[in-house]
A and B are shown apart, each in its own frame.
Chain A
Amino acid sequence: MRVYQVPVHTRLWLATALITCSLPQLLLGPVWQSLLLGVVVAIRWLVDHQRMRLPGRIIRGGLLVAAVGMTWFSFGRIYGPEAGVALLVSLFSLKYLEMVRQRDAYVVIVLGYFVCATALLFERGPGMFLFVLLSMLLLTAALVGINHSETKARASSHIKTGSVLFLQAVPVTVVLFVLVPRVAPLWNMQLDSGKARTGMTDSISPGDISELSESSELAFRVAFEGALPPAAERYWRGLTLSHFDGRTWQQAIPRGGAVDSYLYNGRGAPPDWYQQLQAQGKPQSGYSYQLIMEPTQRRWLFAMAVPMLEEGEASLARDMRLVARAPVTQRTRYSITSFPDLRPAIVLDVLERELMLSLPGDSFGRRARTLADQWRRDSRTDNEIVSRALRHFREQPFHYTLKPPPLTTDPIDEFLFRTQRGFCEHYASSFTFLMRAAGVPARVVVGYQGGEQNTLGSHLLVRQYDAHAWTEVWLQGQGWVRVDPTGAVAPDRIALGLRASLRGDEEAQDTLEGLDSFASGGLLGRLQQWTDYVDFRWQTWVLGYDNASQLQLLRHWLGEASPLRIAASLVAAISVLLTLYMLILLRQAGTRRQTVLEREFWRVHQRVEQQVGHPLAQGLSPQALARVIDLKWPKAGPLAHQWAVYYQQLLYNPGFGAGKAQIRHLRRLRNRLYKLLD
């Protein structure tokens, strides 16, 4: 068996492609993978340069066992997405090592395409997409290269051919992307993204949200259809917390309440609270928007009150928030319309009222209860109690800060009467406590408030530091009403956002400096705005192009998305493209293209021109060119004439036979000639 050698001109492409394809995994995965790849590339280099024999079966087998063993060691298993991809990348490099026949080279390259695709399992941003394209381009160049095994092709011509192939494929790919019906994935891969993301948890205790405020990571994006709501209306509700143990607020449902009547996904008989909502009729004005959630690993979504889902997989909960069917593990898009005028839960049943009035044990918040009792006695209505409480927060020396002093045994009393320095969760928590103590049903709502507009895409960007907590109180005849005690203390927080509200606060300065915002100003802010815009468009146009949006688009174009019409348009589009390519090819065939030999002449012509420093006549024959060289560099004269005569033979003497060997000889002459030209 003849041992196949990857042609010299392709080795570099293959090695580069190998490294590039593996790079995403190498950056994520354990260090030993990089070492393995380094060793493999080094061995292959030595083998290719005859410094070493190809490692035998035993060594290769040993490396294989080691790779599998290390994968097991690092991931605890050898299947599943992470471990599987890690193993695949290791085997990919081992296959490269044992490449013996040409078929092996094909296997390596095809495997490379697959490895590229796996990189998209973990990251699907536009940057990664471009990187994968680059890897595929390199692989294609290598594929072109190994098919050139017999010739003395030049390495750079492979990438050129590869790029041409790529460019020809792009329009076809776009057509396929747009038209081929999307099938739901056959399997659902649960990817553990590994990193502990910052984000909202399902309970809050003092300090939780102020931690979030130190992160400028993206929480979600919102693209409005039409005008944006005013900043003070941008309350993105995530969770309602109704059980308080003195330190921590948690989600709870009324005692004895059925869990399945708590969520309604639009199927089956609607529960009573949904019927109540419907009985109010749909108000005229609402905000329609697309919510693009970043992965949270949680099920709840963030929306303005009262959300109605237009598109996507989620249910409406009794407390007027949206709950996804499965945890959000990747960016997901939901179409939502929010109706701020709807009055949720006008009627409160006994059990629910009991829950919303429940207080922790008597040891917590004694002074607060006394204060609340005082308000109760002095007020005639619940409304009045709420305004009294807000006035209390406004008038007492409360201070809004990111770095509140620690609260120890009784957070409510300590905060309300001693420290009086706190963050939104402190205000929401103590305000809710006071309301309940005064007999007004109340609950804590956590979510985000505000968001920054990207003027390029006019979408809203909500970051982790926009996290917020506020209170909802139940008022007779009005239902649940939002009250934000933080707004009473620090109105800027609501109207202008966290950054503006803390400006001038010495303590918070170092925190603020680390936070991204378009308002950071200058080039950086502009750049961030652009990257965000590209990312957003990528999300909405490419990743967000799912079954539903495809159907919508096809209906718009074809009138009706029937299989026949889709197939016909697919065939038509691709036929048009192929005809176009064919016409271009035919045109090119009409004008014979410059041959290698012809190019060779112009190369020398150009070189001499450069060296001489002034343009030479176009009409120089090879002999005349040699004479020019002779005049300028008498030493190079004989060689130049030799070159010209040889060239003339190759191009004009049909009996001479211009084979590869002859061209090689011509190039040798040319290279020797170059050395004499200076």
Chain B
Amino acid sequence: MQALTKALAQVGQVVLGKEEQLKLALTCLMANGHLLIEDLPGMGKTTLAHALARVFQLDYRRVQFTSDMLPADILGVSVFDPKSQDFSLREGPVFTQLLLADEINRATPKTQGALLEAMEERQVTLDGVSRKLPEPFFVVATQNPVDQAGTFVLPESQLDRFLMRISLGYPAPEVERNLLAGGDLRSLVRNLKAVISSEGLIKLTRMVDKVRATDELIDYVQRLLDATRSDDRFVAGLSPRAGLGLLKAARAWALIGGRDYVVPEDVQAVWSAVAEHRLAARQGGSVAAMTQSLLQSVPVVRR
């Protein structure tokens, strides 16, 4: 657990003043889920992803999505090697441990689909041959808010593949001053020390599954899911996959908090990040506010 705190501290050196988001990102990583960061360009998304990779000693690749990109540009291609007279696979950038998919909504749905499928299956099939992706495999996708020009909006079904969605937002003034005074971020990132090995991270993700949740807690999670389904402000309620993700994220959050059991606060802490991007409002209004209001109205303890 100390290692986790240290890791957080390390990343905190380069992503200033965003402890909450860092913790969520770490939670997402430990829960073996993919992260979607929705923000304007230049908010530190890349820095965050890069820092995470450094701290956990992960292979790191970055792909900038563009509208002329093809699935092969991500997954890889078979090429004919004249020397061996055979086809050999040239692996795409997806074959890595941490993939930063920058501005995923700039790519065409076809390319988006290819990546999302790889995320879900954790393997890539090329020319009929399946190839496993490395372990751990963690995608941090970033997305410009949808009102930006020339983007392809990710449909809700695709969004469900991401365990969490967070946004970093502008830094606080004093943090920003520090940022401005701090000099070159890239060299800072490069100087970050590895805290946990990738094997250590795999172990941690296994530990998440052992975090216990009592019946009372599971009841609470179920009540929350139920509330999204019976609330007619939403187009549709949360899926069972979302429910599993919620519980898993809560487990990871509990583990970061140093507990081997989940409490309702853990669920509440990850609730917005897990639920918000999967819900759509029926008649407009802020989905964020609606999602948050459910936490206010659903009893934590059975009435």
Contact = CB atoms under 8 A, between A and B. Distances in A.
Interface of A: 592, 594-595, 598, 601-602, 617-624, 648, 651-655
A629 to B, nearest CB: 16
A652 B260 CA distance: 10
B282 interface: no
Contacts of B259: 653
Interface string B288-302: 000000111111111
A652 B296 contact: no
A556 to B, nearest CB: 49
Interface in B91-130: none
* Of B212, B259, B301, most A-chain CB atoms within 10 Å: B301
Nearest to B260: A655
Contacts of A592: 302
B216 A652 contact: yes
Contacts of B303: 594, 598, 602, 618
Given A595-B302, A598-B303, A653-B214, 11 more contacts: A598-B302, A617-B296, A618-B296, A618-B303, A621-B263, A622-B264, A622-B301, A652-B213, A652-B262, A652-B263, A654-B261
B293 to A, nearest CB: 9
Given A602-B303, A652-B217, A619 B262 contact: no
B268 interface: yes
Contacts of B268: 621
7 pairs of A and B residues whose beta carbons are closest in the complex? A601-B301, A621-B264, A617-B296, A621-B300, A653-B261, A619-B296, A618-B299
B232 interface: no
Contacts of B264: 621-622, 652
Contact of B216 (A602, A617, A651): A651
Residue from A620, A651, A655 with most neighbouring chain B CB atoms (10 Å): A651
A609 to B, nearest CB: 13
Nearest to A658: B214
Contacts of A653: 212, 214, 259, 261
Contacts of B297: 617-619
B124 to A, nearest CB: 40
Interface residues of B, number: 23
B176 interface: no
Contact of B261 (A602, A619, A652): A652
Contacts of B301: 598, 601-602, 622, 651
B265 interface: yes
Given A621-B263, A621-B265, A654 B212 contact: yes
11 contacts: A595-B302, A598-B302, A601-B301, A618-B296, A619-B295, A619-B299, A622-B300, A648-B263, A652-B213, A652-B261, A655-B260
A624 B269 CA distance: 12
A618 B261 CA distance: 23
A595 B302 CA distance: 9
Nearest to A625: B300
A654 B261 CA distance: 8
Interface in B258-276: 259-265, 268
A414 B92 CA distance: 140
B214 A652 contact: yes
A592 B223 CA distance: 14
Contacts of A595: 302
A623 B265 contact: yes
Contacts of B302: 592, 594-595, 598
Contacts of A655: 212, 260-261
B214 A651 contact: yes
Interface in B238-265: 259-265
A601 B216 CA distance: 13
A598 B300 CA distance: 10
B88 to A, nearest CB: 52
A204 B298 CA distance: 84
Among B217, B260, B261, the most chain A Cβ lie within 10 Å of the Cβ of B261
Nearest to A601: B301
Nearest to B215: A592
B207 to A, nearest CB: 15
Contacts of B298: 618-619
Contacts of B217: 652
A619 B297 CA distance: 5
Contacts of A622: 264, 300-301
Q: Among A601, A618, A652, which residue has the most Cβ atoms of chain B within 10 A?
A: A652
A131 B71 CA distance: 86
A306 to B, nearest CB: 72
Contacts of A620: 300
A602 B295 CA distance: 17
Nearest to B261: A653
Chain A CB within 10 Å, residue with most, of B213, B214, B298, B302: B302
B89 to A, nearest CB: 48
A637 B294 CA distance: 26
A260 B296 CA distance: 91
A622 B268 CA distance: 12
A186 B296 CA distance: 69
B263 A598 contact: no
Interface string B199-217: 0000000000000111011
Nearest to A645: B263
Nearest to B266: A652
A10 to B, nearest CB: 29
Contacts of B296: 617-619
Contacts of B265: 621, 623-624
B297 to A, nearest CB: 5
B206 to A, nearest CB: 19
A619 B300 contact: yes
Contacts of B262: 652
A654 B214 contact: yes
A601 B301 CA distance: 7
Contacts of B216: 598, 651-652
Contacts of A602: 301, 303
A541 to B, nearest CB: 43
A619 B260 CA distance: 23
Interface string B25-64: 0000000000000000000000000000000000000000
Nearest to B223: A619
Contacts of A654: 212, 214, 261
Contacts of A651: 214, 216, 301
B303 to A, nearest CB: 6
A450 B207 CA distance: 94
A11 to B, nearest CB: 32
Contacts of A594: 302-303
Interface in B10-26: none
Contacts of A624: 265
A623 B266 CA distance: 11
A90 to B, nearest CB: 50
Nearest to B213: A652
A623 B263 CA distance: 10
A621 B217 CA distance: 11
A653 B264 CA distance: 11
Contacts of A623: 263, 265
Contacts of A648: 263
Contacts of B294: 619
A11 B154 CA distance: 69
A253 B106 CA distance: 126
Contacts of A652: 213-214, 216-217, 261-264
A597 to B, nearest CB: 8
A648 B259 CA distance: 12
Contacts of A618: 296-299, 303
B154 to A, nearest CB: 30
A646 to B, nearest CB: 12
Nearest to B224: A619
A619 B212 CA distance: 22
